[in-house]
Amino acid sequence: MARALLGALAGVALGVVAARAAYAALTAKAASKEWERNNHRGETLTLLEGPAFVAGASGALALTPGLPPKVRLAAVLAGAGSGALGAYDDLFGGTSSKGFKGHLSALAKGQVTSGAIKILGIGGTGLAAATLVSRGAVDTLVNGATIAGSANLANLFDLRPGRAIKVGLLAGGPLLALSVLRRDPVTAALVAVPLGAGAALLPEDLGEKAMLGDAGANALGALLGLAAVTTLGRRGRLTLLGTVAALTAASEKVSFTKVIAGNRVLNTIDMLGRRPA
């Protein structure tokens, strides 16, 4: 257990240092207006938190000692790939089509939206990452769908300050504990790096100075999805995929923000560290 705990601590530390360094480098000079957005209050903030997370988490995973080459490559592919596609949607995305259903419906009509490109691209990078850590066609499909679905789901929570990162920490915490209890330093480090990177950028997110955007949220979800499929057994992975699919489908009909605001416990967690509404 000591090696797994050490791997977890090293992963968190690398994620924190790399994400903070990336954010400092990206925000050292005035950002282009293309990276500015108005938040739910109508205030201007930067989307550079997203590229900082992608660069920090992907860079840390590339340097984390002890990861098998295929796992390392899968992590960089899932994180950097989904992050790059998310950044494309951040910069060039329109508002004519919204949601998973909206983008695919537009695609069926021959309209190729930036969101459709992102959805299909993340599906491809998720499947490619899954081939590196899976055994057999069925596991590859399940794992690829889980990685891609997790990337999309994390982005659905990035509607209020700190929410996506908090969801990531709450979802990744049990995975990290399970990896340590199983005395598995590889999966412990794989989970710990994105958690450390997310936690490092949480102050700017909660302070409404920056937000993950599609780039950061997609990468966070994809990396946690990858960590999950390398940690859980088949039954656990199928349960996770079903949960991700159900929440994604529910998001087309139900506002997560309204559900959270209407639940005392969820709202308390959501508002923790934030300015009053």
Is 168 among the domain residues? yes
pLDDT over 60 (residue 112): no
Residue 70 and residue 80: Cα distance in Å, rounded?
A: 15
Nearest to 224 by CA among 269, 183, 166: 166
Interhelix angle 136-156/163-181, rounded to 10 degrees, is: 140
277 within a domain of the structure (yes/no): no
Q: What is the pLDDT of residues 193-247, one digit of tens each?
A: 999 999 999 999 999 999 999 999 999 999 999 999 999 999 999 999 999 999 9
Quick check: helix, strand or coil at residue 38?
A: strand
Q: What is the pLDDT of residues 96-108, one digit of tens each?
A: 545 555 555 655 5
Q: How far apart are CA 175 and CA 2, in angstroms?
A: 17
Q: Flag whether 85 is in a domain.
A: yes
The pLDDT score that the predictor gives to residue 31 is 64
Residues 144-149 have a mean pLDDT of 96
Give the domain range for residue 198.
2-271
- Residue 130 belongs to some domain of the structure: yes
**Domain count for the chain:** 1
CA dihedral 56, 168, 245, 103 (to 10 degrees): -50
The verdict on residue 276 lying in a domain is no
